[in-house]
Amino acid sequence: MNILRILAVTVATTTTAFAGLELGADVSYFNPRLAARTYPSLASTQTTAFAGPLFTGYGHLTFGIPQTLLIGFGPSLGFSNQSVLDATAGETRDEATIVRFGLDVKVQLEILQVILPYIRVTLGKDSINWKDSGAVGANTYIAESSAGGIFYNAIIGFQIPLAPEFAIYVQGGYTASPGSALVTRSYRVSGVNQPVSSPSVSDTSYSGYLLSAGAKLSF
């Protein structure tokens, strides 16, 4: 009899699964370390520390068991403008812009009603553009380059509901892009374009940490 009761409760609980929509946005402190070839020769690779905000928005189709578990998945879009932290000798400017588009998945426990812990994983494609300027001997140079490849996030966080349809959240985790080929768009010395043979190997990569705060609406 007890087994039948447990089965009845289990069936009743699992059949109350629901579907919904979740829209969220957050801003992160993002500090990637970018490994890329150095100008003018492109013969060696240098690792440079960057830092700046990362703005991310996402949309999730959600389903789960009320007051127990929520699973959401959908697209995410991110944008970041990064400034160099450890400029090398002769370098006057080094800035990077990163655009990310990916598939975002979240699994959230909803047993506690005041704080909801979750894990969140994102896999997608990024596009990196950066501008590097400095001195070559007595001359100045400006290099504009791009790269792009697969990136991923692995994040843990918790959500605080403020209303049935509105919540705030904080999260932190690790992000990386394993590697992509460097493409030189232009390289000018004292205003004169210079020929550059870009390497074809996947030698541009980055990794770093995210610390974020955001808000979301549920429908």
In a domain, 1, yes or no: no
Report the percent of the chain where pLDDT is more than 70. Answer: 81
In a domain, 179, yes or no: yes
Kindly tell me the sign of the dihedral angle through the C-alpha atoms of 17, 21, 27, 32.
Answer: positive
In a domain, 139, yes or no: yes
Tell me the pLDDT tens digit for each residue of 15-57: 456 689 999 999 999 988 888 766 555 666 777 788 899 999 9
In a domain, 2, yes or no: no
Confidence band, pLDDT 50/70/90 cuts, at residue 4 = very low
Please, are residues 105 and 95 in contact by the beta-carbon 8 Å criterion?
A: no
Among 38-47, 75-84, 164-173, the range scoring the smallest mean pLDDT is 38-47
Q: Which comes out higher in pLDDT, residue 39 or 8?
A: 39
In a domain, 115, yes or no: yes
Tell me the pTM: 0.79
Q: Is the pLDDT of residue 154 over 50?
A: yes
* CATH code: domain of residue 158: 2.40.160.20
DSSP string covering 66-134: TTTEEEEEEEEEEEEEEEESSPPTTEEEEEEEEEEEEEEEEEEE-SSSS-EEEEEEEEEEEEEEEEEEE
* Total count of domains within the chain: 1
Q: Scanning the structure block, which residue is given the tokens 């390497």? A: 199
* Domain span including residue 124: 19-218
Q: Is the pLDDT of residue 90 over 80?
A: no
In a domain, 12, yes or no: no
In a domain, 10, yes or no: no
SS3 166: strand
Please, are residues 23 and 72 in contact by the beta-carbon 8 Å criterion?
A: no
In a domain, 14, yes or no: no
Supply angle C-alpha 211, 212, 216, rounded to 5.
160
